[in-house]
Amino acid sequence: MPQIASTVRAIPASGIRRIFELAAELDDVIQLSIGEPELPVAPHIREAGARAWRDDVTNYTPNSGIPPLRSAIVGKLARDNGYSVGDDQVHVTAGGAQALHLAMSFTLAPGDEILIPDPGYATFAMTPRLLGAVPVPYRLRAEHGFTPDLAALASLVTPRTRVLLVNSPSNPLGVVFDRATVGALVDFAARHDLWIISDEVYEYLTFDAGCTSLAAVDTEDRVFGVYSLSKTYALTGARVGYLVTPPGLTERFRAAQESTVSCVNAPAQSAALAALEGDQDGVTAARAHYRANLAAAGAVLDGRGIRYQRPGGAFYLWIDVSHASGGDVAAWAEHFLRTERVAVAPGTAFGAAGEGWVRICFAGGRAPLVEALGRFPVPGAC
C-alpha cells in the first residue's frame, strides 16, 4: 500500500485537543482548556447571518470575499490599527487559521525555516510542517517578561530562514508587546531580510495598553497580517478571518484560495460585515467580563501562592504548576482532569518551553473558574 505524505506524518498531535477530547468522556468537568468565548453573539450579527440564509444568499463570492466586507476591513485597519491598505490587499479567509496557513504558503518553500515563539500557539509549529518547512522555536522566558531576546533570536537565523512569526496579544501567554518591542522586531526582520507574519487575532482583547500592529511600524511591506472575528465577536464556529498582504499579490491570492476553499461561505460574510459595521457594545461588554474574571482568578491564585503570568490581553492565564507536575506537565494535566475534573491545556502543547506550566481560558463563567482554580495544588503541599 502507498504511504501518506511525509509532511502529514510530521504534524504533531495537539495536546490541547487531547485534553478536550478526554474531558468530553467524563462527567462534571470544568472546561478551561480551549479558547471559547461563552458570551452570546450580538443579536444584530446573528440576524445578519440568518437573513442571508432566508434570502438565499448562498452563491459563490469572489475568492477574496464580498467587496463590502473587504472595504469595511480597510476602514477598520485605518481606524483601529493605524495603517492604510487597498481593498486588493484584504482577503477574507476561513478563520484566522486559514489566514495563517496562506501566509505561510506565500512565504515558505519546502526546507525553508520560520522562527516561531515558544511558548506559542500549536498551529505555529503544525502548519509549517504540513508545508514541508521547518519551524524553529525562539524561547520566550519568564525572567524577560516573555518578550523576545533579540540576540538569542539572531543566533537562530540561518541561510534558510525566511519568516519571523510574531503573536501579540499572545496565545497562550497574554503578553502584549509595546510599540518599542514591535519596532525592534520589525527592524530585526529588515536586517535579516525576513518576511513577518503578525498574528493579531486577539487585537481587541487588551486590558491595559492597546495592541500595536506590526504593519503600522513596517515601511518595507514585509508584513502579512493575520486577523479573525472569532474571539472578538464570539464567532468561533462561523470561521471568518482575513489576511492582509503586501501589495501586488491579489492574483496570487485568488489562485491560492481557489485551490483550497474557493471562498468563505456567503452568510458568514454577511454576519462578519454586520459585526464590523454594527454596534460594538458586545465587544465592550465582553472585555469588561474578561477583565472581571481575570481579577477574580488572580485573587484566587495570589491567595494560594500560585505563580502566574498576568496577561495584558487575550483571555488566558499562564500558570506555573512545576511544584506539582514533576517534569511532565502533559501527564499531570491528564491526571488533574481525571481526579479533579478540571480541564487545562498543558504548557508543552505550546512548545518545549511550556514544561511546568498550564494555560487556562477565563472567558467563561466566573463561578466555575474560581471553583476550578481552588482545586489547583498549592506550592509546598505536593
What are the residue boundaries of the structural domains of the chain, listed by start? 6-41+281-373, 43-277
Where on the phi/psi map is residue 300: left (φ > 0), alpha (ψ -120 to 50), or beta? alpha
> Per-residue b/e over 6-31, b at no fewer than 16 CB within 10 Å?
eeeeeeeeebbebbbebbeeeeebbb
Q: Say whether the peptide bond before residue 119 is cis (omega within 30 degrees of 0).
A: yes
The per-residue pLDDT for 210 is 87
CA distance 183 to 181: 5
Q: Does domain 43-277 have CATH number 3.40.640.10?
A: yes
The per-residue pLDDT for 290 is 97
Task: Give, in order, the Cα–Cα distances in Å from 235 to each of 67, 79, 102, 314.
Answer: 21, 22, 21, 15
pLDDT in tens, 277-294: 999 999 999 999 999 999
Task: Give, in order, the Cα–Cα distances in Å from 41 to each of 37, 47, 248, 285.
Answer: 9, 10, 35, 12
Inter-residue contact 34 to 361 (CB < 8 Å): yes
The per-residue pLDDT for 382 is 55
Task: Look up residue 364 and give its amino acid.
Answer: G
Q: Which residues contact 235 (CB under 8 A, 6 or more apart)?
A: 41, 45, 229, 271, 272, 275
Q: What is the pTM of this model?
A: 0.96
pLDDT in tens, 2-15: 999 999 999 888 88
Nearest to 349, CA basis, from 112, 38, 103, 124: 124
The per-residue pLDDT for 12 is 85
In CATH, the number for domain 6-41+281-373 is: 3.90.1150.10
Low-confidence ranges of the chain (pLDDT < 70): 381-382
Q: At what angle do helices 95-107 and 123-130 cross, to 10 degrees?
A: 50
Report the SS3 class of residue 19. helix
Strand 316-320, strand 357-361: pairing: antiparallel
Residue tagged 454596534 (cell numbers): 279
